Amino acid sequence: MKKIFVITFLTLQTLALSAQLNTDRVMAIGRNALYFEDYVLSIQYFNQVIKVKPYLTEPYFYRAIAKIELEDYQGAAEDLDEVIARNPFIPMAYYARSFVEKRLGFFDKAEQDIDKALKLSPENMIFLINRLEILEEQKRYNEALSDLDFLLKKSGNDANLSMEKGRFMLLAKDTVGALKWFDDLVRTYPKEAEIWGARALTKLITNDKIGALNDYNEAIALKSSNVGHYINRGILHYQNKNYRNALADYGTALELNPNNEQALFNRALLRSELGDWNNAITDLNQLINQNPTYYEAIYQRALLSSEIGDSETAFNDLNTIIKRYPNFAPAYYQRAQAWEKIGKKKQAFADLETAYDIKKREENKAKETKKDEPDMQVKVTQAESVIKQRSNIFNASINASTTASRNASIRGNIQNVNVAAVNERNFTLSYYQKESDVKRPPRHNRTVEKLNASNTMQGTLRLINQETSLNQSLITYHFNTINYLSKEIANAPQNADLYLRRGLNYSLVQDFTNAIDDFSKAILLQSDYETLAYFCRANVRYKELEFRTNNPNELETTDEKAPQDKSYAYDFEMIMRDYDKVLELDPTFSCAWFNRANMLCVQKDFSTALTNYTKAIEIDNDFAEAYFNRGLTYLFIGETEKGTADLSRAGELGIYQAYNLLKRAK
């Protein structure tokens, strides 16, 4: 978090002076966590303050900032609404909400909020630069230029702001004015590589290739670190048939940014043209791995794979292209040739016929658009804003890559750590829980609490869904406990609670059969904790079913598939009956509603699953896992708004994986 942000908001600290000392302390720790980019942890602290002092402005504001850093814009907007409702005179609250609305694509609302911020702080450069972004999105370039003139007058003709004015001139199609403006800037700032590069791009746009090459040479001689300068000079070298220098420039661009898509694609095209097919395919493989929807690269790889005899890759890639661009005739021609090579004349003829029909249709149209074709041209880099980051008081989330270097960490911009979109697992009873960097609200149940209070168990039982593996000493301990309980049962065979205890121990050492038998015996003997016996039996039955279904050594042969399917359906029904019985005995058992919903998702009964997740949330409003799974279910059935709202809440409650899914849902 940039220090300018913290300093700007020092005045907000007075808002909590009336709070108790512990509330102040928790807020201070939360702000520390926010400053050091521990966003998920900071949210947990702000949650605590809000729960105790919901009328305070400060915790909502800082929680919104943390959510912005995690790209949970919907959640941040809701918190900022709370801030402004409590105090409508904080300009940075309007700025932050404008920023969020901009990210959500609500540019009219974003403009209204930034205008409110400017009314409270009329000459704030951060606010004005933020408005430039909004005006650019709305293509209101002349108004943006007016703001830039004011900013330039106020800043004393700042070099980056001056470049931004030239960029907006280009956006407004005023290439003559832009070229004249950059001519003046080159004279004023002859040692600024970015300005030489900006004029080079302007000349490239106006087809002055010699002038563009000279300007890129000047920019690069000034040790430019702008990848675009090398890519565009590489294109100019290529057009001049100076292939060695073109390859060198693409290589330098990739040294500066190893994942740059334009550089990878352009180098692959050039290598392909030069006959260096294997290295071209290497570039394309990297590009496609980074961006599986880069169809130009997929098509190019199909052509090269066909050349080197890799028919499988060629067919797969051409099928992908045809699926995406069903009216792209060259793909059908290429696939026809591939069919010919392997002797499939009938398929080849069908593809040739399709390609011919497409061409005939195109000839009948006066102006056929190219929207249904991949763009196979080299990629020129365009001018980018050099002041955009100055409108952003937030951290690096806006430009962060999609692959994080700290996969095991929950600090920083964890929304960039890709996670699998899979449901949180079922809750079960256990003495142990896997340690987590973020403490989620615990799940409670009155019967579990009653059992723990009885002191008949060998430890405190918890409802958990992140189980941990037992070490050797614990395994030995639980086997010894099983032996001890077996002796106790021999002396008191009608004691239902002994069976419940032993069943729990069997389940911990993965002895599903004995665990189910003991839970069944506890039910038969009418244990005082019958609810938990049904709950545990359902959980173990599902574990056993999951193991049997997914373990290759346990799979039936194809001939025996029907009995296997019948067995699965029967076992599934038994699990659901156990959960039904739990809820009949205790309708407030939120984890049972949750587990039942998960089972319904497995059966693809999403409508009923949503009802069950909702019931769990109604019972326990802080049920993070239920919000998470309900959010995923909503996304799966296409209800994105509801899904993102639930994922936002799940992230707020400590499931940090939700932030990556929120980002991907946009």
Percent of the chain that is helix, strand, coil (3-state, to 5): 70, 0, 30
Q: How many CB atoms lie within 10 A of CB 353?
A: 12
- If you search the block for the tokens 């300093």, which residue do you land on? 7
pLDDT of residue 420: 66
Query: What does the DSSP assignment read for 106-121?
Result: -HHHHHHHHHHHHHHS
CA distances from 602 to 268, 426, 532 (A): 44, 12, 23
CB 64, CB 80: distance < 8 Å: yes
CA distances from 583 to 461, 549, 588, 593, 594 (A): 20, 27, 7, 8, 11
Q: Say yes or no to pLDDT of 260 above 50.
A: yes
Q: Say yes or no to pLDDT of 4 above 50.
A: no
Q: Say yes or no to pLDDT of 663 above 80.
A: no
Residues 6+ apart with CB under 8 A from 417: 404, 406, 407, 660
Mean of all residue pLDDT scores within the chain:
85
| Alpha carbon distance 148, 178 (integer Å) | 14
DSSP-derived 3-state class of residue 139: coil
**Arithmetic mean of pLDDT, 19-30:** 72
Question: Is the residue at 6 inside a domain?
Answer: no
Q: Say yes or no to pLDDT of 59 above 60.
A: yes
CA distances from 112 to 102, 290, 535 (A): 11, 37, 53
* Adjacent-strand bridge partners of 429: 463
CB 432, CB 419: distance < 8 Å: no
Q: Please give the torsion angle defined by the CA atoms of residues 321, 323, 328 and 334, in that order, rounded to the nearest 10 degrees.
A: 50
| Alpha carbon distance 359, 616 (integer Å) | 58
Question: In this predicted model, what pLDDT tens digit does every residue of 332-343 receive, in sequence order?
Answer: 999 999 898 888
Q: What range defines the domain where residue 529 resides?
A: 430-665
Question: Is the residue at 523 inside a domain?
Answer: yes
Question: In this predicted model, what pLDDT tens digit does every residue of 389-438 receive, in sequence order?
Answer: 555 555 534 343 333 333 345 555 555 555 567 899 999 999 988 776 56
Instruction: Give the phi and the psi of residue 463 in degrees, each rounded to 5.
Output: -90, 115
Question: Is the residue at 236 inside a domain?
Answer: no
| Alpha carbon distance 433, 628 (integer Å) | 19
**Arithmetic mean of pLDDT, 310-318:** 92
pLDDT of residue 560: 45
CATH number at residue 610: 1.25.40.10
Look up residue 382 and give its DSSP letter: P
User: Token pair of 576, please?
Assistant: 């659901």
Query: What does the DSSP assignment read for 42-66?
Result: HHHHHHHHHHH-TT-SHHHHHHHHH
| Alpha carbon distance 76, 80 (integer Å) | 6
Question: In this predicted model, what pLDDT tens digit does every residue of 202-238 receive, in sequence order?
Answer: 999 999 999 999 999 999 999 898 999 999 999 999 9
Question: Is the residue at 180 inside a domain?
Answer: no
User: Token pair of 606, please?
Assistant: 């999403």
Question: In this predicted model, what pLDDT tens digit does every residue of 172-195 receive, in sequence order?
Answer: 999 999 999 999 999 999 999 999
| Alpha carbon distance 608, 101 (integer Å) | 34
Query: At 624, which helix (H) or strand (E)?
Result: helix 624-636
Question: Is the residue at 174 inside a domain?
Answer: no
CB 129, CB 158: distance < 8 Å: no
**Arithmetic mean of pLDDT, 586-605:** 96
Query: At 357, which helix (H) or strand (E)?
Result: helix 345-363
User: Token pair of 445, please?
Assistant: 């149940």
Question: Is the residue at 246 inside a domain?
Answer: no
Q: Which amino acid is at 543?
A: K
Question: Is the residue at 600 inside a domain?
Answer: yes
Q: Please give the torsion angle defined by the CA atoms of residues 115, 120, 121 and 122, in that order, rounded to the nearest 10 degrees.
A: 60
> 154-158, 347-351, 504-508, 514-518: which has the minimum mean pLDDT?
154-158
* Adjacent-strand bridge partners of 463: 429, 443
Tally of structural domains, the chain = 1
CB 578, CB 535: distance < 8 Å: yes
pLDDT of residue 393: 56
Question: In this predicted model, what pLDDT tens digit does every residue of 609-636 receive, in sequence order?
Answer: 999 999 999 999 999 999 999 999 999 9
| Alpha carbon distance 641, 627 (integer Å) | 13
- pLDDT above 70 covers a percentage of the chain that reads 85
Give the N- to C-terminal CA distance of the chain in Å, as an integer: 24
Question: Is the residue at 245 inside a domain?
Answer: no
Query: At 463, which helix (H) or strand (E)?
Result: strand 462-464
Question: In this predicted model, what pLDDT tens digit does every residue of 115-169 receive, in sequence order?
Answer: 999 999 998 888 999 999 999 898 999 999 998 999 998 887 788 899 899 999 9
| Alpha carbon distance 445, 91 (integer Å) | 45
More confident position, 605 or 473: 605
371 band by pLDDT with thresholds 50, 70 and 90: low
Q: How many CB atoms lie within 10 A of CB 603?
A: 12
Burial category of 472 from C-beta neighbours within 10 Å (exposed 0-12, middle 13-18, buried 19 and up): exposed
Q: Say yes or no to pLDDT of 16 above 50.
A: no
Per residue, the 3-state secondary structure of 245-271, as one string, reads: HHHHHHHHHHHHCCCCHHHHHHHHHHH
More confident position, 358 or 532: 532
Q: How many CB atoms lie within 10 A of CB 640?
A: 13
Query: What is the length of the chain?
Result: 666
